[in-house]
Amino acid sequence: MVDVNTNLDLTDNNDLDIYGAFVDTRGATGAGFEFCLDTDKDTVLDVNDLDDDNDGIIDAEENGGINPILDSDGDTILDYKDSDTPGFVDSNLDGVDDRFDLDLDGIIDQHDTDADGDGCPDAIEGAGNFIFDDLVNNNFGTIAETSVGTSLGIPLLNGVLASQSITPAVRDNLDNYSCFIDLSIVKTVENPVVKLGETVIFNITITNNGGLIANNVVVKDVLP
């Protein structure tokens, strides 16, 4: 039996090293073990982290103000996995409360960098207008550095707190436009009827309806 109050070292493979010994914890359960987790690997344990997945959207907004990683009844099962939790819903029988897992993938929203499962990270779909270059090595969903102190676990971008509000797109699996370039072009002519030798002026407007920045766009047009 391992006392989870001792000094533990979680490796990148979710293994546990204790004073040089090796203990395989893959598949481990229990509130004591999960209290030691650091989902976004920002050195701030989830139990203390205001933004567990470092997407800039604080956990309290993603979970609707109900903290699912508590063990309210002290039975060593975190609330989001505990069928005794008041209001617990598990339509797909995966052992996770659906109220905190929008896309029903078994990962609660505050740990899920893509809560609606549409392939576009929450960090991009949020209200902060972040782009993929703002993410750590373009990592799926995590933003730059981490703040400590009173802003414990909230990511930083160029030294500034990178917190952002949730948007409908974060929770709509049919809306992933923030991750695409969607160009449209409209050409108009100021005077469609001209005489020989007169100047004809065309206006071309390009609109990017997607969330990604379109660089080096070239428009070619063949005159009639």
Classify strands 21-23 and 145-146 as parallel, antiparallel or unpaired: unpaired
pLDDT band for position 3 (cuts 50, 70, 90): very low
Together in a domain, 192 and 129? no
Q: Is residue 164 located within the same domain as residue 206?
A: no
| Cβ atoms of 143 and 157 closer than 8 Å | yes
User: What amino acid is encoded at 193 in this protein?
Assistant: V
DSSP-assigned letter for residue 59? H
Q: Which domain holds residue 125?
A: 37-178
Are 131 and 75 members of one domain?
yes
> Is 92 in the same domain as 119?
yes
* Domain assignment present for 19: no
Domains in the chain: how many in total?
2
* 188 and 168, same domain (yes or no): no
Does pLDDT of 221 surpass 70?
Answer: yes
Tell me: the pLDDT tens digits for 86-119? Answer: 999 999 999 999 999 999 999 999 999 999 999 9
- Can you tell me the distance from the alpha carbon of 51 to that of 198, in angstroms, rounded to the nearest whole number? 63
Percent of the chain with pLDDT over 90: 46
100 and 189 within one domain: no
Amino acid at 152: L
pLDDT per residue over 150-183, tens digit each? 568 888 888 888 889 999 999 999 999 899 888 9
First to last CA, the chain: 82
Whether 45 and 123 map to the same domain: the answer is yes
The pLDDT tens digits for 16-59 are 333 333 334 444 455 555 668 888 888 889 999 999 999 999 99
Same domain for 143 and 69, yes or no, is yes
Check whether residue 154 and residue 205 sit in a common domain. Answer: no
Q: Rounded CA gap, 159 and 147, in Å?
A: 9
- 8 domain residue, yes or no: no
The mean pLDDT of 182-197, rounded to a whole number, is 89
pLDDT in the model for residue 49: 92
What distance separates the 2 farthest-apart alpha carbons in the chain? 93
Is the same domain home to 57 and 128?
yes
pLDDT at 171: 96
